[in-house]
Structure 1
Amino acid sequence: MNASTSPQAIAIRVQLFILSRDRKDYCRQAIVSALAQDYSNLEVVISDNSVGEDVAQMATEEFPKVGLVRRIPSLPALEHFNRLIEEAKAPLMVLFHDDDVLEPSYISQMVEYHAQHPYAAAVGCNAYFMRHNKKTNSKLMGDFAGRRIFKSKSEFVEPYLSLSLIDPAPFPGYMYRTDTIRGLRLDSTKGGKHADVSFLCEVLDRAPIVWTDECLFNYRLHGANDSQLESIGQRLSWLRYIQSATGLNRTSQPVRDYKFMYWRRWLNQNSPGLRPFRRATDTASFRIAVARRFIVFWGLHLALTRIDFWKRTIRQLLRK
Structure 2
Amino acid sequence: MGTQVSSFSDYVVTDLLRDVPGIVLRRMFGGHGVYQRDVMFGLIDRGTLYFKADNTSRLQFEQHGSKPFSYQRQGKQTKLTSFWEVPADILDDRLVLVEWVEAALAAARREKSKKEAKISQPKRGLAGVKEKFHQLTKEKQNDLLRDLYKISPDTKTFLESRLLGTASSQHQYIKEMERETIGKIYRKGIPGDISGRAVNSIVSRAWKAEVDLDTMLQLEWLAFRGFQEYLHQFGGGPETFEEMACKHLEAYLLLVRDGVKDKAEQQRRYAEAASHILRHDNMVTDYAEDTFDEIIGARPQEAKNW
When normalised by structure 2's length, the TM-score is 0.23
* Larger proportion of helix: 2
Using CA pairs below 8 Å that are at least 6 residues apart, which structure has the higher relative contact order?
A: 1
When normalised by structure 1's length, the TM-score is 0.22
* Larger proportion of strand: 1
Radius of gyration: which is bigger?
2
